[in-house]
Amino acid sequence: ILNVEQSPQSLHVQEGDSTNFTCSFPSSNFYALHWYRWETAKSPEALFVMTLNGDEKKKGRISATLNTKEGYSYLYIKGSQPEDSATYLCAFIGGGSYIPTFGRGTSLIVHP
Amino acid sequence: NAGVTQTPKFRVLKTGQSMTLLCAQDMNHEYMYWYRQDPGMGLRLIHYSVGEGTTAKGEVPDGYNVSRLKKQNFLLGLESAAPSQTSVYFCASRTTSDNEQFFGPGTRLTVL
């Protein structure tokens, strides 16, 4: 079983704060990394698919970076809003694997 | 496009009863997955399929069986339900590339 770690486990911020969290994964045999946003009582929805070392992706106030050589990805949220409250999951896919390995997620709560 | 659908949405079983959860996708995806979500455990893979007629075990397959007789459907069966199988079950599908997974809305199962 591959080791995919996310930190912190949970995060409370005030509206307007910028925040970031980390996904760590094996630095060998990398194929792709996915970020998902998972709101309570809903199902996970994909934010980003990242495949190349140095990739930077952006969607509105949310962005992500990827370092495959050292095995980590950062997710940034600029100017957090209450509607950003969710669990953010990352999933690592190794070369030749059909199976994404998920981290346990970072739970973000943005207080008005 | 309905995307990924799951039937039923909720179910309560007694210990020892059997049931089948149905996952259907209309996106012509090759890969399909069954996960369970438990507090503090994230998403754990039960079984997966890389194409019609094929299935494979995931991280936590014991007590479950699956079938993929048609490309669009992936069935998860519990032959003799146990309280430890109380969980929220998510189905997901994706294409054969590095693309993201699309998740169903989940099935909340309680075993008494």
Task: Report pLDDT digits (tens) over A12-50.
Answer: 999 999 999 999 999 888 999 999 999 988 999 999 999
- pLDDT category of residue A1 using cuts at 50, 70 and 90: low
For residue B51, give the chain A residue with the closest CA: A98
pLDDT at B12: 97
* Alpha-carbon span B112 to B102, nearest angstrom: 30
> If you ran DSSP here, which 8-state letter would residue A54 be given?
T
Top-confidence residue, A98 or B12 = B12
Distance, C-alpha A27 to centroid of its chain: 16
Residue whose pair of structure tokens reads 């912190």 in the numeric block: A8
B103: Cα separation from own chain's centroid: 10
Q: Collect all residues of chain B within an 8 Å Cβ-Cβ radius of residue A49.
A: 98-100
Q: Are A59 and A71 in contact (CB under 8 A)?
A: no
A43 contacts on B by Cβ (under 8 Å): 90, 103-106
Question: What confidence tier does A98 reach under pLDDT thresholds 50, 70, 90?
Answer: confident
Tell me whether A86 touches chain B (CB under 8 Å): no
**Which residues on chain B are in Cβ contact (under 8 Å) with A103?**
42
Would the CB atoms of A46 and B102 count as touching at under 8 Å? yes
Residues in chain A: 112
Q: Which residue of A has its CA nearest to B40?
A: A104
B83's tokens: 């309280």
C-alpha triplet A106, A94, A28: angle, nearest 5°: 95
